Structure 1
Amino acid sequence: MSTEAPASARSQRKPKGEGHERRAEILAAAERIFVEHGYEGATIRKIADEVGLSSTALYMHFPDKGAILQEISRQAFEALRAGNERAMAQSGPAEDRLRRMMRAYVEFGFGNPNAYRLVYMTRPAELQEGPQSSARELGTELFRSFERVVEELEAAGRLRVDARTAAQALWAGGHGVVSLMISKPYFDWVDREALTTAMMEGLLAGFLRP
């Protein structure tokens, strides 16, 4: 016998709770709905129903769906930044820090596929209504921290190409693995860890001098 609650029960209005908890529920529901219906197809009513709120109550937390998308973007970049900082805080040569930063990026994408889709795989027209400023400011800052480590390798004479090209190619490699695996789950992928390692080590072997 099915234990799933009927739609009417899931949509019942919930009692007032803590503001942070309710905001987190709204953001989690919005992530799913934005991915499932697209930004244009998502509505405040759909998000509110998913959480069990009235549209009026949801507006007490966010003024519009653009603000919701912007907060999802901000939190995603903050999580990525924290992962970068942990990777950089560990001792070791620049090459090892670069590996850890790439892995932190990939692991974030696989661990947060909905947020990753919205931040890195959303159409530009939709970004204009939400996370464009976050993508430009926080995203640029995040990439610069990665690029600086690549520049250390360039200064040490380890790179076969310029640092800017290498940094963008390495980022593109990480994004390619994440975006393809989360958007094409039906493909007969090899083990995720094996594919990630092969991508990273293959690119580094091509760019780094002994």
Structure 2
Amino acid sequence: MPTRLHQPSGERLPAAILDEWRKIPAAVAADLLRGRGHADPGIRPLRRFGSKSWLVGSAVTAWCEAADYGPVHHAINIAQAGDVIVVDAGGRSDAAMIGELLSGSARRKGIAGVIIDGAVRDAGMLSEWPDFVVFSRWVTPRGPSSMERGTVNEPVVFGGVPVSPFDIVIGDDDGLVFVPRQRAEELLPAALARVKAETEWEAVLATGRSTVDVFNVPKADESR
């Protein structure tokens, strides 16, 4: 059966909403979602981001059967600049779903990155690209063996989290978080407020005040 391309039921988020979410790190998004949006922490970036940048983009999903990477080709083909390819490969380590050639093609289109619950290869090269992000669970030299099955742009489960097309992907050195497209506009004011609050807390703590005072930690019982 050939790879099936699905038409997403929803629409892309407005660019203005995505631009605002680019200000939100993974930890803030994870806290807002109360533990329901962060992927398995075993899925890690190939290179460190540092504190000043992170991955944010709209999800294009690809579900891959064992050792078949057809959906990755098709997902790259239909993705737009700024998108993130979300590859559900079932967490398998037996075959890489992407390497330098496919990643290079995605990079030339302006795709922001690819995240894989599975394996990649050519990790040395991929980790050197400053403008293309790769997260994966495994690295292996073995490539895939077919490209004729799987699906693109239907809901998947990535690292334990349900992900649908056009959900927001946020990734940094802490890991990956997915913000459902339907809740992106609703959650944005709280996310921006939390970023502002953390900046203010940092400034206050720098004056020497204790975290107990700043965060109104309940008073501890004193042992006698």
TM over 0.5: no
Higher strand share: 2
State TM-score, norm by structure 1.
0.21
Higher helix share: 1
Structure of greater relative contact order (alpha carbons < 8 Å, 6+ residues apart): 2
Instruction: Choose 1 or 2 for highest CA Rg.
Output: 1
State TM-score, norm by structure 2.
0.20
